[in-house]
Chain A
């Protein structure tokens, strides 16, 4: 009997230990969290999440392995404005929103299009650039001899897109298209080149970045859609700073310099 009581006591102690261990961190973290902007200034760096497989918006240098791109330069302007250093975190595109909500990253700069579903989960900045979305096929493709006027012309074809993007939502909304959602743009391009899909639906600048590698042509391009930087809800001070940088940089020409640097004369 003594033995059973001892074992039972041990189990209860373990359970209590785990529970206490669970709640102790809560005692150390301040009950009213300081605004994110103050946390960033205190720790001296801002963590910006991106998915570094989307040239020219973001990709990695060789052989240094540094993340570079248009979004990174925009983030650098924001970091300069806050007086902190910039830390990039390279996460898969469809994990970015979860990571930002969880607080693993402070801001998303990953060519993320504005739409209502995302705005419900995260706070969007002002539009920092607008891009067209294009449907591209291999130049040798016989399925589409002439440009199409509507996405519904893609019905019955196999169309690739990046998972978690607005392009996927648009394609999913049209029944009859076989949608192949891939984790990243480069896999998409490999897939198109290998004949795995008939067409892919991506942001315009992506086509410009890849057209030299593969023999491609555009058969459809959408209206320009706004891209935004994203941060958590309930952080007005940080959002104000981000928007201020976007407006200021458009006014004093820094943004135009960046656009010319990364997109050249291509109409983005």
Chain B
């Protein structure tokens, strides 16, 4: 019969890597996609705005589990070049990235818009091109402004990664669940340990990056939070 320490160890040993892998790659993919969509949304022509806002509306309206099922079982040949055993993992990462991209584009759009438009005019007046002034004046400020709300997105993605259990990936939720099957008396305890672990990986990050960054920005006179 495992004790409390064993339960923590089992779940971390069997599940933590996959949870963090899914979260990291999902966030990274969503970050790239979100920035591109946000730029399209803010500076793009009418058609690009239509494209990116349409994408956001679509992806924000589909539950993550449904997306995972679509990519994993609905389009089994989507990752035809991968080994058959790695395909479920790739489909979950794709689903998390596409969904997170839709949300992150909103975060970055808000951040870009909250940089004073006078700065763009000033840098254009100094002779910088539009791309130059965006890259070296607007973007550095916008990314800093986006950090507090972006940590919130991290918290969403790490929790959504638990849906990966549905296509057979062993991450923290599934590991805790498996332990509960093996030791019925510990079922509630092992799920509780999973809850604690998710909390430990969510709250400190939100605290360190989110609140500290908000304070820092306040000192610089940026942002509202």
List the A side residues contacting B183 at CB < 8 Å.
62
What CA separation (Å) do A4 and B47 show in the bound complex?
9
The distance in angstroms between the C-alpha atoms of A186 and B10, with both chains bound, is 19
Residues of chain A contacted by B187 (CB below 8 angstroms): 186, 190
Contact B181 A186 (CB under 8 A): yes
**Do residues B77 and A29 form an inter-chain contact, with CB atoms below 8 A?**
yes
Q: B131 an interface residue at 8 Å Cβ cutoff? A: no
Chain A interface size band reads 35 or more
In whole angstroms, what is the CA distance A25 to B167 when docked?
A: 23
Q: Select from chain B the residue with minimum beta-carbon distance to A25.
A: B80
Q: Is the CB of B178 within 8 A of A60?
A: yes
Question: Are A28 and B80 in contact (CB-based, < 8 A)?
Answer: yes
Compute how far the CA of A65 lies from the CA of B38 in the bound complex, rounded to whole angstroms. 43
Known contacts A95-B167, A104-B87: A55-B45 contact under CB 8 Å: no
A-contacting residues, B69-106, CB 8 Å = 69, 72-74, 76-78, 80-81, 84-85, 87-88
Q: Which residue of A lies closest to B165 (CB)?
A: A92
Answer whether residue A59 sits at the interface, using C-beta atoms and an 8 A cutoff. yes
Closest to B80 in A: A25
Residues of B within 8 A of A14 (CB): 51
Chain A residues with Cβ below 8 Å from B85 are 47, 87, 89
A96 shortest CB reach to chain B, Å: 10
Given A189-B184, A213-B185, the answer on whether A102 and B80 have CB atoms closer than 8 Å is: no
Chain B interface category by residue count: 35 or more
A47 touches B84 (CB 8 A): yes
A3 at the interface (CB under 8 A from B): yes
* A1-39 CB contacts (< 8 Å) to partner B: 3-4, 7-8, 10-11, 14, 25, 28-29
Given A25-B80, A62-B179, A103-B76, verify A49-B168 contact (CB < 8 Å): yes
Interface string of B50-83 (1 = CB under 8 A from A): 0100000000000000000100111011101100
A52 cross-chain contacts in B, Cβ below 8 A:
178, 181
Is residue A53 contacting chain B, with contact meaning CB distance below 8 A? yes
Q: Does B182 contact A (CB under 8 A)?
A: yes
Give Cα distance in the complex from A95 to B177, angstroms. Answer: 17
Q: Is B192 an interface residue (CB 8 A)?
A: no
CB proximity of B34 to chain A, nearest CB, Å = 18
Given contacts A7-B47, A11-B47, A28-B80, contact A186 B184 (CB under 8 A): yes
B16-67 contacts to A, CB under 8 A, are: 45, 47-48, 51
Do A91 and B168 have beta carbons less than 8 Å apart? yes
Contact call B76/A102, Cβ cutoff below 8 A: yes
A184 within 8 A of B: yes
- Contact status B88-A104, CB under 8 Å: yes
Residues of chain A within 8 A of B6, CB atoms compared: 63
* Interchain residue pairs A-B with the least CB separation, the first 10: A102-B76, A91-B168, A102-B73, A53-B181, A60-B178, A213-B184, A25-B80, A89-B168, A98-B73, A103-B76
Besides A7-B45, A53-B178, 4 other CB < 8 A contacts?
A43-B84, A98-B69, A190-B184, A213-B185
9 contacts between A and B (CB under 8 A): A7-B47, A28-B81, A59-B182, A61-B182, A89-B168, A91-B168, A92-B166, A104-B84, A210-B184
